[in-house]
């Protein structure tokens, strides 16, 4: 029977909720800080600068949104599938708790994660499962 200690699960949940809070607080508020002013006094000279800022900010927002997805999905797995939380989705071995404490949204153990990124990078590492980190 797989299952992490309640204590570790609680710690992971706290970590996830804190991260969720941070991400939600950062939110989209930075997209256009001049919006209020701009609507009162249209100033076309500032437009290119504002658009550049929007591109940068929306990229940041996209990264935040991806992390938000990971954090929310981890919280929902924690809520709905508690018994399997922290189990590698690839090899079904427990993910090290040290890794989970740092990255509670991790879905794969280190060897599987590395194997996946190796595949993406187009090369293979042999015996990945043989070494223990
Ligand atoms: Zn694995």
The per-residue pLDDT for range 24-75, each reduced to its tens digit, is: 987 665 555 555 554 555 666 777 778 888 888 888 888 899 999 999 999 9
How far, in Å, CA of 36 to CA of 50, rounded?
Answer: 13
pTM of the model: 0.67
Alpha carbon of 114 to ligand 1 centroid (Å): 9
The residue ranges of DSSP E strands in 57-105, in sequence order, are none
Long-range CB pairs of 86-93, under 8 A, 24+ apart, other chains included: 86/2, 86/4, 86/8, 86/12, 87/2, 88/112, 90/115, 90/116, 91/129, 92/2
- CATH code of the domain made up of 6-130: 1.20.120.910
How far, in Å, CA of 42 to CA of 27, rounded?
Answer: 25
pLDDT tens for each residue of 69-109? 999 999 999 999 999 999 999 999 999 999 999 999 999 99
Alpha carbon of 15 to ligand 1 centroid (Å): 22
């Amino acid at each position: 029977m797989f299952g992490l200690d309640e204590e570790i699960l609680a710690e992971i949940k706290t970590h996830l909720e804190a991260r969720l809070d941070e991400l939600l607080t950062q939110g989209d508020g930075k997209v256009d800080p001049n919006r209020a002013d701009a609507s009162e006094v249209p100033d076309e000279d500032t437009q290119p600068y504002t658009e550049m800022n929007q591109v940068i900010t929306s990229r940041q927002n996209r990264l935040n949104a991806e992390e938000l997805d990971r954090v929310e999905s981890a919280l929902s797995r924690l809520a709905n599938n508690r018994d399997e939380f922290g189990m590698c989705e690839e090899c079904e071995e427990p993910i090290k708790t040290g890794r989970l404490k740092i990255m509670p949204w991790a879905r794969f153990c280190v060897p599987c994660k590395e194997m996946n990124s190796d595949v993406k990078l187009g090369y293979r590492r042999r015996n990945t499962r043989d070494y223990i980190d």
